[in-house]
Every structure is written in structure tokens, then in C-alpha cells.
């Protein structure tokens, strides 16, 4: 842990998870452990996500709002 309680993620780990500077991460505390999970954005999901259905822009925006609320809580 660095100055100001900053955590540095090793390069190989960040690359394996597809995260980099500016990526959003969700922090969870489970018992005496800290869990960091990448929070995908719409662009990441469209590029890397499983293709299961077609969606129009309005539906995408509505789903984006739902996901943002879910990850922010």
C-alpha cells in the first residue's frame, strides 16, 4: 500500500483483467478480504461481452443506467 492508501495493481494482473488507468473498479469487503472487480462500460461490453441479442440505442442506454446503479450501490 502506498502513500494515501493507494494500491498498485501489477501490470500482468491488470492486463489479464483488461483494466488500465481510468478503469472503474468495484471494491467489496468480505470478512478480512478485499475484492476488486472491474466495472465494464458499454464500449467494453460491446467489444468483449458475449453476443446474445441485438439491442437498439435506447435499450442500450436504459440497460446502461440500470447497470451503473447496480455497480454504484
Q: 1-39 has which fold?
A: Pemi-like Protein 1; Chain: D (2.10.260)
pLDDT in tens, 3-12: 999 889 999 9
Q: Where are the domains of the chain?
A: 1-39, 40-73
pLDDT in tens, 21-49: 888 899 999 999 999 998 877 776 677 76
* Res 18 pLDDT > 90: no
Helix residue spans in the chain (DSSP H): 11-17, 42-48, 57-72
Handedness of CA 17, 19, 20, 26 (dihedral sign): negative
Amino acid at each position: 500500500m502506498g502513500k494515501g492508501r493507494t494500491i498498485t495493481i501489477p501490470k500482468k494482473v491488470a492486463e489479464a483483467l483488461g483494466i488500465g488507468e481510468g478503469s472503474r473498479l468495484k471494491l467489496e469487503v468480505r470478512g478480512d478480504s478485499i475484492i476488486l472487480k472491474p466495472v465494464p462500460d458499454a464500449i467494453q461490453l460491446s467489444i468483449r461481452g458475449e453476443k446474445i441479442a441485438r439491442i437498439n440505442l435506447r435499450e442500450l442506454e436504459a440497460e446502461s443506467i440500470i447497470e451503473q446503479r447496480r455497480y454504484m450501490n
